[in-house]
């Protein structure tokens, strides 16, 4: 894929997120845009309680499909990244353009990732960004592309295009006053925003089977059931949910409309994955 040039030039779907995210849902942009329009929510708020790379949210905001976005993630490192991008974009851009992309620097950033204070958003957020762009598949707990000895075919800087990333941060910063960044449990966010009019919630929680160690997986089976009762209780609000297509989802959301879909999922290789979407009762599905 050619990622050079402006953030949108080569893609029908805007690629705005500076993060690489295993299982990222930026590719749902077109579908979500249709749903926003079908529900007359273009002047409304779009909420992702499990935001991760927030690719879909940023695409919708930057192209003017929704007025405001709320991005929440329980992972303090992911939260620090978004907080730093939204509040200190110039400092992040400067660090992005001045940092060395070497294994020695990778070790320093890894140390910051593990030890920085949770509220030192710039240090923790930048370390998260650095590791996300230099690790294999963007997995924060993984090793650098090319290995510690850099003997691999691709090297540590293979996914670190400073110009492209600078442009993405610039675009996000232009819209920062319309972005809220939160660091709490996804269900608390659903409870809070499901009461509001003119709001669409898109929940993409840790999957049943694929989650593994790709990102923070705070979910036990009981959490999946709790999330289901939380969402089923507010089925008259406007929400949608995606999961891996396992039988348990159909059980938990038996009363809701569901639709199977495919996504190009590239954690370690590109494969076609079978995913499922669940819709609240009042959501007009385009
Ligand atoms: C499937 S990923 C979301 C990917 C995202 N839709 C994207 O396009 O990049 C799930 C996310 O939920 C976060 N998470 C895990 N447990 C959570 C919880 N209890 N509340 C909020 N976020 C949580 C993880 O850190 C991870 O970023």
- 3-state class (DSSP) for residue 87: helix
Give residue 1's pLDDT.
Answer: 38
The residue nearest atom 27 of ligand 1, judged by CA position, is 52
Largest CA distance in the chain: 55
Contact 122, 91 (CB under 8 A): yes
The residue nearest atom 12 of ligand 1, judged by CA position, is 50
- 3-state class (DSSP) for residue 72: strand
- Confirm or reject: Cβ of 29 under 6 Å from ligand 1: no
pLDDT in tens, 265-281: 455 555 555 899 999 99
DSSP state of 203: E
Please, what is the angle between helix 55-62 and helix 29-38, to 10°?
A: 60
Contact 24, 53 (CB under 8 A): yes
Closest CA to 278 of 181, 180, 201, 168: 201
Q: What is the mean pLDDT of the chain?
A: 91
The β-bridge relationship of strands 257-266 and 270-279 is antiparallel
How many angstroms is it from 77 CA to the middle of ligand 1?
Answer: 12
Summarize the confidence of residues 37-52 as an average pLDDT: 97
Residue ranges per domain, the chain?
A: 1-74+184-286, 77-181
Give residue 9's pLDDT.
Answer: 45
62: Cα separation from own chain's centroid: 15
DSSP state of 89: H
For the cut 80, the answer to whether the pLDDT of residue 190 exceeds it is yes
Q: What is the rounded CA–CA span in Å between residue 224 and residue 205?
A: 9
Summarize the confidence of residues 36-50 as an average pLDDT: 98
Take residue 82 and report the two structure tokens written for it: 């978004």
- Confirm or reject: Cβ of 50 under 6 Å from ligand 1: yes
Domain made up of 1-74+184-286: CATH architecture: 3-Layer(aba) Sandwich (3.40)
Closest CA to 92 of 15, 159, 14, 176: 176
Phi and psi dihedrals of 133, rounded to 5? -90, -15
- Confirm or reject: Cβ of 53 under 6 Å from ligand 1: yes
- Confirm or reject: Cβ of 89 under 6 Å from ligand 1: no
For the cut 70, the answer to whether the pLDDT of residue 211 exceeds it is no
Q: What is the rounded CA–CA span in Å between residue 13 and residue 31?
A: 11
């Amino acid at each position: 894929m050619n990622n050079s040039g402006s953030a949108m030039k080569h893609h029908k779907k805007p690629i705005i997120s500076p993060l690489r995210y295993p299982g990222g849902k930026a590719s749902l942009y077109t579908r979500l845009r249709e749903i926003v329009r079908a529900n007359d929510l273009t002047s409304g708020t779009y909420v992702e309680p499990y935001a991760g790379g927030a690719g879909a949210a940023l695409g919708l905001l930057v192209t003017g499909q929704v007025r405001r976005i709320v991005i929440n993630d329980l992972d303090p490192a992911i939260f620090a990244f978004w907080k730093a991008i939204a509040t200190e974009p110039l400092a992040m851009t400067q660090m992005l353009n001045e940092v060395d992309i070497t294994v020695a620097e990778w070790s320093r950033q890894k140390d910051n990732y593990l030890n920085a204070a949770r509220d030192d958003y710039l240090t923790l957020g930048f370390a998260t960004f650095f590791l996300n762009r230099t690790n294999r598949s963007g997995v924060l707990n993984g090793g650098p592309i090319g290995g510690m000895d850099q003997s691999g075919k691709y090297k540590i800087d293979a996914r670190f295009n400073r110009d492209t990333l600078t442009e993405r941060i610039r675009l996000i910063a232009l819209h920062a006053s319309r972005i809220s960044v939160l660091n709490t449990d996804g269900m608390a966010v659903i409870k809070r925003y499901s009461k509001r009019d003119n709001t669409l919630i898109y929940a993409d929680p840790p999957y049943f089977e694929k989650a593994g160690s790709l990102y923070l997986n705070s979910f036990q089976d009981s959490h999946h059931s709790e999330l289901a009762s939380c969402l089923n209780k507010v089925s008259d609000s406007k929400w949608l949910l995606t999961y891996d297509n396992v039988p348990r989802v159909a059980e938990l959301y038996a009363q809701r409309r569901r639709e199977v879909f495919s996504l190009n999922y590239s954690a370690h290789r590109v494969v076609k994955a079978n995913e499922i979407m669940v819709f609240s009762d009042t959501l007009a599905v385009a």
